[in-house]
Amino acid sequence: MTRENHSSPGNAAARNPSRMHSVSPENTELVDLVLDYSRRRMLASDTPLDKPETEAELDRLAAGALTEEGIGASSALALFENVLAPACITTDHPQYLSFIPTAPRKAATAFDLVVSASAVYGGSWLEGSGAVYAENQALTWLAHEFGLPATAGGVFVQGGTLGNLSALVAAREHARRRVRESGAAMPARWMIVCSAEAHSSIASAAQVMDVDVVPVEPRDTGSLGSEGVRAALEEHAGSVFAVVATAGSTNFGIVDDVASIAALKGEFDFWLHVDGAYGLAAMLSPLARPLFAGVEHADSVIVDPHKWLFAPFDACALIYRDPEAGRQAHTQHAEYLDTLTQTSDWSPSDYAAHLTRRARGLPLWFSLATYGAGAYREAITAALRLAREIAHEIERRPHLRLVRQPQLSVVVFERDGWLPADYERWSARLLGEQRAFVTPSSHAGRTNTRFAILNPMTTLDQLTGILDTM
Ligand SMILES: Cc1ncc(COP(=O)(O)O)c(C=O)c1O
């Protein structure tokens, strides 16, 4: 690690408290350096997958980064480029197929720099009306795609976990108000009904809220239907404040039977929340849209633009059918905030469990404005098609077995005769050879592996090449 010698930073800082903020040759040079690096990274088509490094090795190479005098921008950036970035798996790589990947569009990634450069405060209309207006345009567009009324609205939060929590807090507040108004007694425990295959963030939200989860076994297809939900609602009458339907399960990409669950709203009083963090984006494609019938009846939905809507980390669109329910549950009150909250202005802080916020919906807005919605439909449709093609290929290979037919773009399969250790070794080898990032998973106690496909740069050849290594 070299020290820059064009300045003696410690002494300069002592003499000049505005050194870090002023428009100076030093800061001009560092902005150029960072923009040049970002430009190279955004336009590179051969960024390797990379892999995790041990803490000891990172200590050896980077432990001296933080000093009293500073090491200078070029040394710090070189450290990032040569040591730290290669120790981070490239999540937008076409052969990153684990968990739920990300594949931000060029426009969205580039615009993320603009969001930082513009120092926008995204929490209140007073401070960020232009940004809030644009974010709301994107939310209204999503709400329309999901069949929600034009009055629906919400906020972009950090991720699906916070989106689910915020929606469920609003749901419980709504239920409490209803019980108070009716004069009835509050239930001893509030409950959330969801599929046993719902995402772990629902259990996490329940723990934070100190409420119970009633897990309902889905049908054999993996899809939760009204029969299981009805039984749970009857068993726990008066205690269930929300039913969560998953629109694209994380493990399998299976969509619950939202229409049949929504139909129960005529008989039972509950808030229907649709967790579409990964899958709801597929509603944009005519190929998958029919699977999502019933979403239009939801009281709240979430979808993560950092998943299948091609925005950079981190963004979750949380949309309420009646945004007032979100506002009543989440507005923070304090003397210094009265100027923001004692108006009818739309302030995003009021719609989730947060206050200060980055205008993290802007990269999606810019990308949508740039390319148009049609480009999204095409890219999402391409992933759906590719998932079907590779599922067909898996069925053709005698030593492989599809665990379930894919509905969206997650393809789960087993290799005959493999034990967990075989999957582990194979996965490590793929990453070691920088070929692909495909991790083992499991279902009903059996180890399997899965391709989670959403990057339009992923090809059938790449996927069949991976199958050839099994
Ligand atoms: C269905 C579902 N819900 C919620 C989440 C949590 O989202 P996040 O990781 O953005 O908190 C995920 C993450 O993969 C998901 O797949």
Secondary structure of 458-470 in the HEC alphabet? CCHHHHHHHHHCC
Confidence check: pLDDT of 14 > 70: no
Q: Concatenated DSSP letters for 82-144? A: IIIGGGS--TTSTTB-SSS-----HHHHHHHHHHHHTT---S-HHHHHHHHHHHHHHHHHHHH
Residues whose CB falls within 8 Å of the CB of residue 280, separated by 6 or more in sequence, listed in order: 146, 247, 248, 274, 292, 295, 301, 302, 303
pLDDT tens for each residue of 352-382: 999 999 999 999 999 999 999 999 999 999 9
> What's the pTM value of the predicted model, to 2 decimals?
0.96
Ligand 1 in contact with 304 (CB < 6 A)?
A: yes
Hey, is 165 helix, strand or coil? helix
The DSSP 8-state label assigned to residue 81 in this structure reads I
Note the pLDDT tens digit of each residue in 275-301: 999 999 999 999 999 999 999 999 999
**Residue whose CB lies within 8 A of the most ligand 1 atoms, among 96, 208, 249, 250, for a mutation test:** 250
Nearest CA to ligand 1 atom 16: 250
**Nearest by Cα to 101 from 110, 114, 111, 91:** 91
Give dist(CA 142, CA 247) in Å, integer: 15
Query: Where are the alpha helices (H) located in 183-222, listed in sequence order?
Result: 200-209
Stretch 412-430: mean pLDDT? 98
Angle at which helices 373-396 and 362-371 pack, to 10 degrees? 90
The whole-chain average pLDDT of the chain stands at 96
CA distance 245 to 247: 6
Query: How far does residue 183's CA lie from ligand 1's centre (Å)?
Result: 37
- Judged against a pLDDT cut of 70, whether residue 12 lies above it is answered with no
| Residues 283 and 295 sit within 8 Å (Cβ to Cβ) | yes
Q: What is the pLDDT of residue 305?
A: 98
Backbone angles phi, psi at 156, to 5 degrees: -90, 120
pLDDT at 5 over 60: no
161 CB near ligand 1 (under 6 Å): yes
Pocket probe mutation, ligand 1, options 195, 251, 278, max atoms within 8 Å of Cβ: 278
pLDDT at position 341, please?
87
DSSP lists the bridge partners of residue 154 as 319
Of how many residues is the chain composed?
470
pLDDT (tens digit, 9 = 90+) per residue, 293-347?
Answer: 999 999 999 999 999 999 999 999 999 999 999 999 999 999 899 888 889 999 9
Give, in order, the Cα–Cα distances in Å from 322 to each of 111, 285, 319, 342.
Answer: 30, 26, 9, 20
Q: Residue 161 Cα, ligand 1 centroid: separation in angstroms?
A: 6
Separation between Cα atoms, residue 258 and residue 299, nearest integer Å: 12
